[in-house]
Amino acid sequence: MITDIESATPALCRLQLGSELRRLRLATGLKASQVVKRLLWSPSKLTRLETGENTVVEQADVMALCEIYQADEEMRSQLMGYAAVTKTRKDWWQSAKYRPVIRPVFKAFLGLEATASSLHNYEAEFVPGLLQTEAYVRVIHQRAHQGLSAEEVNRLVAVRMARQEVLRRRQSALRLTAIVNEAVLLRRVGDGELMRDQLTHIVEIAEALPNVKIQVLPFTAGHHPGMNGKFAVLRFPEGAALKSIVYLENLADGWVSRRESDVARYDETFTDLQALAAGPRDSLNMIKQAIKEH
């Protein structure tokens, strides 16, 4: 349960609402098909509610489900509170400030990242997005998207900075375990001062936040299972209807896979990379050494 609805994000409220509705349904022994038949709903409507995929949740729908599940008054009040948040507030990526520069697939990923409990991220070329400084982000976008206006670049930078709040959110901060190729530490993005600031930022976050762990994959590891490129595996709170996902992207697009075989494959790859990478303490020492080299 969310203890402070007033400070909870709409995405988190949708996920918690869906998890509780699913739990109530299972407790009554009802199948999804039985519920939608009673309410004359489409099967997909209940699925979207239970997985937190609806941007806005109607309180009338929640009340109808509470009636069927015979939820007590306290539970009804809590669930109605979650639904109210989805109607009165917007997630940050829904605002006019960010919408123009967020691709549809990445918008879906942001919603998942905002509700995930943990993120396993391997990066071969860049500092992980959740650990990037504003200056580092700006240089990357200026060089990768040379046709964009200054305003569009500013919006992209703002999106990256806003994302990082998941590491410090009051309601269950995201647990980030990031593995970076040693090349990320040595490849100069911008000038030496920018890189020193960026690497120092990584060290400071890793030392200050217990939910963040960084490992470096050294060149001495030789060939390794992550050589096909970057990836991220997201997991969700226990009891949530959402299954773990894999997020992949390239220069043209990004995509999400929910297939269990894909998740298992990337989970295994990440575990293998962790075994090859330096431990967290040695990794921070490698980062500190790279700061000196810049």
Domains of the chain: 5-89 (1.10.260.40), 93-293 (3.30.870)
Separation of first and last alpha carbons in the chain: 47
What DSSP state is assigned to residue 279? P
Q: What is the pLDDT of residue 46?
A: 94
CA–CA distances in Å: residue 182 to residues 50, 106, 167, 185, 278: 41, 27, 23, 5, 10
Q: What is the pLDDT of residue 195?
A: 97
If you count DSSP H runs as helices and E runs as strands, how many of each does the chain have, helices first? 12, 6
Give the rounded percent of residues in the chain with a pLDDT score beyond 70.
Answer: 97
- The whole-model pTM stands at 0.83
Banded pLDDT at 7 (limits 50, 70, 90): low
Q: Average the pLDDT over 170-182 and give the result.
A: 92
Banded pLDDT at 264 (limits 50, 70, 90): very high
With 70 as the cut, is the pLDDT of residue 223 above it?
A: yes
**β-bridge partners, 26:** none
Q: 162, 99 in Cβ contact below 8 A?
A: no
Long-range contacts of 143-146 (CB under 8 A, 24+ apart): 144/251
Distance from the Cα of residue 247 to its chain's centroid: 10
Q: What is the pLDDT of residue 99?
A: 85
Q: What is the pLDDT of residue 124?
A: 95
Sign (positive/negative) of CA torsion 279, 283, 284, 286?
positive
**β-bridge partners, 122:** 179, 231
Q: Average the pLDDT over 272-293 and give the result.
A: 97
Banded pLDDT at 145 (limits 50, 70, 90): confident
Higher per-residue pLDDT: 8 or 283: 283
Q: Average the pLDDT over 30-50 and give the result.
A: 94
Banded pLDDT at 2 (limits 50, 70, 90): low
Banded pLDDT at 1 (limits 50, 70, 90): low
What DSSP state is assigned to residue 228? T
**β-bridge partners, 121:** 178, 232
CA–CA distances in Å: residue 14 to residues 17, 91, 170, 229, 253: 5, 11, 16, 32, 27
| Alpha helices, H only, 29-130 | 32-39, 43-51, 59-69, 73-88, 104-115
CA angle 53, 131, 268 (to 5 degrees): 65
- The secondary structure element, H or E, covering residue 133 is none
Sheet holding 175-181, edge to edge: 212-217, 175-181, 118-123, 231-235, 245-249, 254-257
Q: Give the three-class secondary structure for 117.
A: coil
Q: What is the pLDDT of residue 10?
A: 86
Q: Give the three-class secondary structure for 242.
A: coil
CB atoms within 10 A of CB 43: 12
Higher per-residue pLDDT: 252 or 168: 168
In terms of residues, how long is the chain? 294
